[in-house]
Structures are given as C-alpha cells and as structure tokens.
Amino acid sequence: MILEIASIEILAHKHDEFEGAIKFAVETVLSTAKGFNSFQLQHGIENPNMYTLLIHWETLEDHTVGFREGPLYPLWRSHIEAFFAGKPEVFHWSQVFAIKA
C-alpha cells in the first residue's frame, strides 16, 4: 500500500462548490479505479484556500500508470480542475510505522 499526498490551492469563495464536486468525483470516478483503497479530503486551518488529498493505493503503479494514463483520469480532472488556483503538488509515500493511542 502506498499513500499519495496531493496539495491543491482552490479559488477563494469556491470552497463549498469544490468540496461538493470532489465528493461526487471520488464517489463516481476515483473510487472505481483499480487499486483504489481510501480517500480523505483535508482542509487547511492556517491556509483556508489549501486542501490536501490523502489517497491510499494498492501499488504505486495503480496510481501513476493505471489511473493517470487510463480513461478515468481526464474524467476525474474535468470535475475538479476548474476550482484549482494553482498546479497540484503530488508526492508518494510508503508507511514506515503507525501508532494509535
């Protein structure tokens, strides 16, 4: 399992519309992708125009090849990119360890 962390600046005063659009896009597009495991949308406290997407994929290639180079990607982007105020910054991470209280 790998974690995609994507940071996106969204147009001011478009937060509610963006949140509705990305929820629809996750439910109808992203969650149908091979290797999709989970999605979280996080909203910035210090920077209210910033959102972070935390997406778990079974493998790195499920995201970078299967999803990014497949037919779902343009559909996914079409739902959300009108709200972007800048280019998303995307990196991938592998978990070293986790601890729960």
Q: At its nearest, how many Å lie between a copy of itself and the CB of residue 93?
A: 4
Nearest to 53 by CA among 65, 66, 36: 36
Q: Give dist(CA 69, CA 52) in Å, integer.
A: 22
Q: At its nearest, how many Å lie between a copy of itself and the CB of residue 74?
A: 21
Q: At its nearest, how many Å lie between a copy of itself and the CB of residue 77?
A: 18
Closer residue to a copy of itself (CB): 12 or 99: 99
Structure tokens at 12: 């001011």
Residues that bind a copy of itself (CB under 8 A): 2-3, 5, 19, 23, 26-27, 31, 36-47, 50-52, 54, 60, 91-101
Q: Give dist(CA 31, CA 54) in Å, integer.
A: 13
